[in-house]
Amino acid sequence: MNFPVIALRGLTILPGMVVHFDASRKKSIDAAQKAMMSDQKVFVTMQKDSEIEDPYAKDLCIYGTLVRVKQLIKMQGNIIRIMVEGLERCRLNGIIERDPYLVGDIEFLPRKSVSEEIEYCRQEAMVRILKEDLDKYSAEVSNNKQAIAHMMTMKKLDELLNQIGIIIPFDPESKQRMLDAPNYEDLYLIAEELLRREAAINEIKKEFQKKVKERIDKSQKEYVLREQMKVIREELGEDSSNTQDADEYEKQANALNAPDSVKEVLLKEIKRFKAIPNGSQEGTVSRNYIETLLELPWNNCTQDNNDTIHAMNVLNEDHYGLEKVKERVVEYLAVRTLVHKGDTPIICLAGPPGTGKTSIAKSVARALGKKYHRISLGGVRDEAEIRGHRRTYLGAMPGCFAKALKEVGTSNPLILLDEIDKTSSDYKGDVASALLEVLDSEQNNQFKDHYIEVPLDLSKVLFIATANDKSMIPRPLLDRMEVIDVTSYTENEKFHIAKDHLIPKQLERNGLTADQLSFTTKGLQKIIHNYTREAGVRTLERQIAKICRKVVREILEQGRGKVKITETSVEKYLGMEKITYNKANTEDQVGIVRGLAWTSVGGDTLEIEVNVMPGSGNLQLTGQMGDVMKESAQLALTYVRSVASEYGIDKKFFEENDIHLHIPEGAVPKDGPSAGITMTTAILSAVTKQKVYADLAMTGEVTLRGRVLPIGGLKEKLLAAKMADIHRVLVPDENRSDVSEISTEITKGLDIVYVKNMSEVLGQALL
């Protein structure tokens, strides 16, 4: 049958209910008026989403109730209050008309008689269980006692279930579940579940109310006692307020060199602090906040030393090499000197450990005459460490940048953000995201610290960040910084660093003088070459310190007055040589090619071996290769198979033979996109039995069609080739610009050949 339809928002009407609701939508009002003019019957059902203004059939619950409209009352604002009585449970089969009101195809779905559906004993058990649940529910609520008492007298299951849905104030979704139940057994299970849930909720609610009441009673008692104490102290002539401290704070606030907006906030907080009773927790929080604002530097700045010559002299004095870093700092100084102001750069020094990134920041601060502060970000995962805690609880603190400014006492220090690539995130927030505002020169003049609440100006701060691996820095954060690569040191650079910095430093630490301990040139070079393998100089410094300690002991025990470390005496103090280098092969071989690899401690050579044996066309990979290298090996084999005919390889060769590719040092994990051409050359050499030049190394990735792609870490790789006494290196043609920036100290003696595709690589590599 067809009936007008009214869509209800957040309301479910069950058969037997008498309820009124307000209708404001024109379609709902028209449907109700149409019902009043005919048989007073209208179908009502709940909307699935109450936000939808003009619902379709899919937006309505399928099961609803046919109701009789008993009364319409016009209210203000074109609202009609409708009183209805639920008649029958029905199903909505579809909407027939949408204008001027909804008309639906309605199917009557009364439930079967309970006696036909459930046997008598089960009915009786269900009634008793429901009454027990009603009893528990009534014990937790104070209203509806009379209605619940009436239900307790009912003996029929269907009557009891219907009344439970009508009387108990379940939420609309729960009532809709009851309406959807196809039979009385399902209806019973839903009703029992809802009753028990309501009883449990009310029990928890009472517990909460009891706790809140106890706390309120305690607070009221404390308030009365404080007021009594206040009166007693006033009678005794004692001052119970914070007036004296507040007056002192007010004087400091008026003398503070800060913006007017800061002073306004500060004076307002001091006025509030004055009214807080002495000794209260709220007073402690307010006092800490006032003292923090007073201790911040705000407009206090130190005078920068803008002498570019002085800055360069200081940087050269403290560090050997690192020309790009020095140039960038001097350029910054030059711009500030010329325009008297300029955007403060945010520099990120990225490079391996031990290359002097942190000490560079100290030298820059000394060169510019700035105060220095270091913030270690390694492992920090609480966003509040950056932005501060909100002042809603005892123990709240400002963030690390506010603390840094407070500690150095100036608004234009140099702040070092150490290990920025090692920040992490968890449920407490994302530290890298919190740093985005700090490291944006367009935003950091209004940095919001949750504790300070007043914008902090960080635009005058010179930020220098350090990172070991810039690929680990989130892209949005990396975009806000100017990255300067601090690459590995050559042996010559290490020699000068050790001679000019490390040896004097360790002599002083160990109480020695240059007369008591000295190093010959060859002795120091042997320590660097045979006892350290690293990108930086930390291990080198430890070896020098070890020699110093042994010499100190000799002086004390044997009375030696002077010790000289020569090439032959190094082993006496440091033991046997620790480092051996894989030198270039002495003879040309089949299936063995020398590759170049970048590691976190510098460059290294990587020998790739390939062997061919009878089999069924399998490719076996060993040597702890990562996913990227495994894919490179598959690409290499595919390319070799694609050009097999050019090298006279039989078509059935790859079906009848297995290829085994191995990288020695199998216990060491290896990965990276730069071994493609090396693997391809090794496989083709093994398959064709053509030898590869022994005095040759190569680096580059290969595509499926044989194009050679550029790689990174070229300086470290060329340095590794030089250490291995290799004189010819194949480098991707797209890396020409990188080679031009590498010092001649590394490239001298190397024949660097640029290659664009595998044909050129094979032409250079195979005999």
pLDDT in tens, 433-446: 888 888 887 888 88
What does the DSSP assignment read for 359-371?
A: HHHHHHHHHHT--
Has domain 2-108 been given CATH number 2.30.130.40? yes
How far is Cα 213 from Cα 19, in angstroms, rounded to an integer? 35
The yes-or-no verdict on residue 754 having pLDDT over 90 is yes
pLDDT at 222: 77
Q: Give the CATH class of 308-485.
A: alpha beta
Residue 45 · residue 89 · CB < 8 Å: no
Has domain 491-574 been given CATH number 1.10.10.10? no
pLDDT at 639: 92
pLDDT at 613: 93
- Sort 324 into a burial class: Cβ within 10 Å, 0-12 / 13-18 / 19+: middle
Q: What is the mean pLDDT of residues 206-210?
A: 83
pLDDT at 610: 94
Residue 526 · residue 570 · CB < 8 Å: yes
Mark whether 674 is an active-site residue: yes
Peptide bond between residue 100 and the one before it cis (omega within 30 degrees of 0): yes
The yes-or-no verdict on residue 667 having pLDDT over 70 is no
pLDDT at 602: 65
What does the DSSP assignment read for 72-83?
A: EEEETTTEEEEE
pLDDT in tens, 349-359: 988 888 888 88
pLDDT at 597: 84
Confidence of residue 209 (pLDDT cuts 50, 70, 90): confident
The yes-or-no verdict on residue 663 having pLDDT over 60 is yes
Give 16-55 as a 3 state SS string.
Answer: CCEEEEEECCHHHHHHHHHHHHCCCEEEEEEECCCCCCCC
pLDDT at 53: 85
Tokens 């301990």 -> residue: 517
pLDDT at 721: 86
Has domain 589-765 been given CATH number 3.30.230.10? yes
Q: What is the mean pLDDT of residues 740-759?
A: 86
pLDDT at 684: 93
pLDDT at 77: 81
pLDDT at 230: 67
Confidence of residue 590 (pLDDT cuts 50, 70, 90): very high
Residue 385 · residue 399 · CB < 8 Å: yes
Confidence of residue 666 (pLDDT cuts 50, 70, 90): low
How far is Cα 468 from Cα 378, in angstroms, rounded to an integer? 11
Which one of the listed residues 370, 715, 717, 722 is annotated catalytic? 717
Which tokens is 495 given? Answer: 């020699």
Backbone Cα Rg of the chain: 41
pLDDT at 730: 93
Which residues contact residue 493 at a Cβ distance below 8 angstroms, ignoring those fewer than 6 apart?
320, 321
What sign does the CA torsion over 585, 588, 589, 593 have? Answer: positive
CA angle, residues 502, 504, 506, in degrees to nearest 5? 65
pLDDT at 682: 93
Backbone angles phi, psi at 103, to 5 degrees: -125, 130
pLDDT at 634: 92
Confidence of residue 665 (pLDDT cuts 50, 70, 90): confident
The yes-or-no verdict on residue 231 having pLDDT over 70 is yes
The yes-or-no verdict on residue 628 having pLDDT over 80 is yes
CATH 1.10.8.60 in the chain: give the residue spans: 491-574
Most confident option among 133-137, 558-562, 586-590: 586-590
Q: How far apart are the first and last CA of the chain?
A: 93
Beta strands 697-698; 592-599: pairing state: parallel
What does the DSSP assignment read for 567-626?
A: TTTHHHHH-S------PPPSS-EESEEEEEEEETTEEEEEEEEEEEEESSS-EEEESSB-
pLDDT at 581: 67
CA distances from 121 to 116, 118, 189 (A): 13, 8, 16
The yes-or-no verdict on residue 238 having pLDDT over 60 is no
Confidence of residue 201 (pLDDT cuts 50, 70, 90): confident
pLDDT at 242: 63
Residue 661 · residue 621 · CB < 8 Å: yes
Share of residues in the chain with pLDDT > 90 (%): 19
Tokens 């004076």 -> residue: 267
Q: What is the mean pLDDT of residues 205-214?
A: 83
From 120-134, 225-239, 342-356, 534-548, the region with the lowest mean pLDDT: 225-239
How far is Cα 526 from Cα 547, in angstroms, rounded to an integer? 13
SS3 of residue 65 by DSSP? strand
Confidence of residue 716 (pLDDT cuts 50, 70, 90): confident
Residue scoring higher pLDDT (585 or 453): 453
Confidence of residue 193 (pLDDT cuts 50, 70, 90): confident
SS3 of residue 319 by DSSP? coil
Confidence of residue 612 (pLDDT cuts 50, 70, 90): very high
pLDDT at 218: 81
How far is Cα 168 from Cα 201, in angstroms, rounded to an integer? 14
pLDDT at 601: 61
How far is Cα 377 from Cα 463, in angstroms, rounded to an integer? 13
Mark whether 41 is an active-site residue: no
AA letter at 186: D
What is the chain's mean pLDDT, rounded?
85
pLDDT at 83: 92
The yes-or-no verdict on residue 241 having pLDDT over 60 is no
Share of residues in the chain with pLDDT > 70 (%): 95
CATH 3.30.230.10 in the chain: give the residue spans: 589-765
Residue 479 · residue 346 · CB < 8 Å: no
How far is Cα 174 from Cα 21, in angstroms, rounded to an integer? 19
Which one of the listed residues 28, 488, 632, 674 is annotated catalytic? 674
From 192-196, 405-409, 532-536, the region with the lowest mean pLDDT: 532-536
The yes-or-no verdict on residue 414 having pLDDT over 70 is yes
What sign does the CA torsion over 212, 217, 221, 224 have? Answer: positive
Which residues contact residue 122 at a Cβ distance below 8 angstroms, ignoring those fewer than 6 apart?
none
